[in-house]
Every structure is written in structure tokens, then in C-alpha cells.
Amino acid sequence: MSDSVATAHVEDAYRVLLRRSLTVGAAVAAVCVVAAAVLAGVEGLLSALVGSVMVLVFFGARLVVMRRTARSNPQLVLIAALGVYTVKIVLLGVAMVLLMGVSWIDGPALGLSVIACAVGWLAAEMRAFVKLRVPVFGAPAPRDPDGGS
């Protein structure tokens, strides 16, 4: 498999992961928003909407960055993955702390929507990854018909 074919395959894999995760994440977000609206009114609706959008944006950005760095060397991909993960978690935590002081935010609706969307997104991403059947190691080298390696 040539490098350009392998890179295209990796980029396609990230595209599939993003599409499937975003679909499930948006469905979970819709359920959270409706449930929060029924249980906590307009404040719950807005809080669940804010929490859901935060998760979808932060988690989606990670896959977009990983897709863009797929052509790079493995060390850069690892650094990008760890950096994006760290930034995502820190920004999500800072946003949660800042939003807890806003008067129209319902804390339980915000927190539960963030947790539900994150779990839904990660479950969909894991399922999509398993279904992609991406080989961990490259294809074995062709064997020499004369018995050599």
C-alpha cells in the first residue's frame, strides 16, 4: 500500500469517525435538550443546549485536528492527539466553572447534558472505530518464494 493510499485511508477513517460520532452526539443532545426543557423549563433547555454544543464542538475539533495531522510523522500525530486532548479537557472544565456563575444556567441540566453527550459521542466513536477494522500493524511483507524472508 503506497503512502498516499494509506494517508487517504486514514483521512477517510477520521471522516467516518466524525460523521458517526456527530450523528449520535446530536441525537443524544436533542434528547437532553428536550428532557431538560420538560423538567427544568427554559433555563434547563438553554443549559442543556449550551452543554451539548460545547461537547460536540470540543470533541469534533479533536477529530478534525487528527484528520489534518494524519499525513504527518507519528511523533507529531501523538503530540497533536495529546495536546488537543489536554486543551479540550481544560477548556471544558473552565467553561463549566465559568457557566456555573451565570444566573440563567441550570447546573444539573448543564452537567448532565455534558456527561450524556460525552458518553454518547465516545461510545459511537468506539463502535465506529471497531467497525472500521483499521489494522494496527501494516500488511505483512511479501514472502520470498525460495524460502527466504
Spatial distance between the Cα atoms of 56 and 53, rounded to a whole number of angstroms: 5
Which of 1, 104, 96, 90 lies closest to 43 in space, CA to CA?
104
Q: Residue 110 falls within a domain, yes or no?
A: yes
pLDDT of residue 10: 73
pLDDT digits (tens, 9 = 90+) for 34-68: 999 999 999 999 999 999 999 999 999 988 888 88
Give the per-residue pLDDT at 112. Answer: 94
Cβ–Cβ < 8 Å for 58, 91 = yes
- Residue 87, domain member (yes or no): yes
Residue 142: inside a domain: no
Q: How many domains does the chain have?
A: 1
Q: Provide, rounded to the nearest whole percent, the portion of the chain with pLDDT above 90.
A: 46
Residue 142 — pLDDT band, cuts 50, 70, 90? low
Between residues 144 and 58, which one has the greater pLDDT?
58
In a domain, 146, yes or no: no
| pLDDT on residue 8 | 58
Give me the sign of the Cα torsion angle 91, 97, 98, 103.
positive
Alpha-carbon distance of 3 to 102, in angstroms, equals 50
What is the domain range of residue 65? 3-132
